[in-house]
């Protein structure tokens, strides 16, 4: 599948960072993009920028943590455009959830957005895609999903859930023309990482990160982690024995 095969796309979390970049990238390729997020002013600014470059981006005010509203709104968009070809569940939140002083309210927010919101986004028009026998579902996970990182129980677990959810969908849809892609970025300069104080190895600027992601989507990759040195490192981390992983990770201060 190439970008010219997408007529329409929905990108959540599009008011800033990677979501904003992806909306612009596909919009500039001639795709009609519905850019969804909670912050209307930022979406309006994105739409103005898109128009200046000839791209067609329509702002959609949406809070994916409100699952029922998300399902309804995405189905309305699907009706209005004659069928969404690409759905990118990019909206996400991070933040510390230290097991020694566990912040339930923040953990719930992470789960509501990263898990429930992502599933609502990806499943809203899945039956219709299957019926049409075309479409592409993309979930933006994280390399932080590889293991339970210190002080990140909710975030790491939420992204691990998304990995497995997407893999199961991919297996179920094998033999159809509906594709499933899981994107796993490492550290990228965005609003989400702006307040992180600890070291962020292989930190990428947003623009090249968006390019990596968009091209992986267009290629129809099953899974794509980047940057590659970090992807390889976390891949190896899966095989570190728990006794060693726990001893080392517990000493890390984030």
Q: Which residues are catalytic?
A: 155
Quick one: DSSP state of residue 4?
G
Burial 106-136 (b: 16+ CB within 10 A, else e): bbeebbbbbbbbbbbbbbbbbeebeebeebb
Three-class SS of 92-111? CCCCCECHHHCCHHHHHHHH
**CA nearest to 144, candidates 152, 132, 136:** 152
Asked if residues 91 and 113 have their Cβ atoms less than 8 Å apart, the reply is yes
Exposed/middle/buried for 68, CB within 10 Å: 0-12, 13-18, 19+?
A: exposed
Asked if residues 71 and 120 have their Cβ atoms less than 8 Å apart, the reply is yes
């Amino acid at each position: 599948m190439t970008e010219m095969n997408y007529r329409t796309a929905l990108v959540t979390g599009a008011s800033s960072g990677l979501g904003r970049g992806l909306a612009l990238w596909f919009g500039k390729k001639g795709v009609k993009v519905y850019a969804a997020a909670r912050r209307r002013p930022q979406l309006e600014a994105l739409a103005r920028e898109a128009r200046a470059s000839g791209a067609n981006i329509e702002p959609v005010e949406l809070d994916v943590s409100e699952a029922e509203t998300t399902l309804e709104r995405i189905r309305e968009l699907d009706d209005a455009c004659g069928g969404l070809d690409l759905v990118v569940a990019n909206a996400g939140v991070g933040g510390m959830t230290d097991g020694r002083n566990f912040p339930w309210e923040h953990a719930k927010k992470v789960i509501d957005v990263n898990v429930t919101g992502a599933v609502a986004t990806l499943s809203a028009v899945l039956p219709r895609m299957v019926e049409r026998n075309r479409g592409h579902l993309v979930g933006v996970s994280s390399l932080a999903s590889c293991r339970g990182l210190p002080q990140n129980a909710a975030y790491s677990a939420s992204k691990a859930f998304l990995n497995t959810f997407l893999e199961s969908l991919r297996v179920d849809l094998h033999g159809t023309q509906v594709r499933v892609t899981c994107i796993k970025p490492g550290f990228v300069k965005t609003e989400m990482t702006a307040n992180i104080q600890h070291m962020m190895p292989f930190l990428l600027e947003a623009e090249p990160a968006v390019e990596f992601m968009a091209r992986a989507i267009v290629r129809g990759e099953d899974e794509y982690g980047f940057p590659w040195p970090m992807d390889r490192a976390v891949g190896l981390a899966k095989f570190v024995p728990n006794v060693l992983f726990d001893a080392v990770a517990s000493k890390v201060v984030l």
